[in-house]
Homo-oligomer: A and B are copies of this chain.
């Protein structure tokens, strides 16, 4: 009887109601945050994460580590590399005072907010292009099932002319320049 974090082990602290206190082994942390053990190791190598060690040199993590890895994941989703995350941490660690650290963090977050907004805008534009292309392609259901791609350029079944770029560019099949080479 005892499955604090792993299913069969409890190095210390257990059965006390909240398991928040039980140190997690690397595999437990990995499962908790949905990343591989190797990834956790990597984060620690890069200084993104710290751990205590058991007497047998096993890594032990606390609840903050869980938060930390989730934080890393979010920053990655925001498009930051592990190197960039490293420098965020370095900035914070090297700041003499809390307010100066927070200013640096703020600046970084501000940049990323702008970048994220821009990225969202780009994706939304692409999203609507995709939607338009899809509606354009609906019409193809009404096409003669035997018709060849080559005929698409003279198709008049669609409401929209010219076709969306996402559709038109896909029609540029095995073909080359219209006017071969050589200058008369």
Contacts and interface: CB of A to CB of B under 8 A. Distances in A.
Contacts of A143: 98-99, 102
Interface in A129-149: 129-131, 133-134, 137-138, 140-141, 143-149
Given A67-B172, A165-B70, A179 B13 contact: yes
A101 to B, nearest CB: 6
A137 B109 contact: yes
Identical subunits present: 2
Interface size band for A: 35 or more
Interface of A: 11-13, 21, 23, 50-55, 60-62, 64-65, 67-68, 70-71, 74, 77-78, 88-89, 92-93, 95, 97-103, 105-106, 109-110, 112-113, 116-117, 119-120, 122-124, 126-127, 129-131, 133-134, 137-138, 140-141, 143-152, 165-184
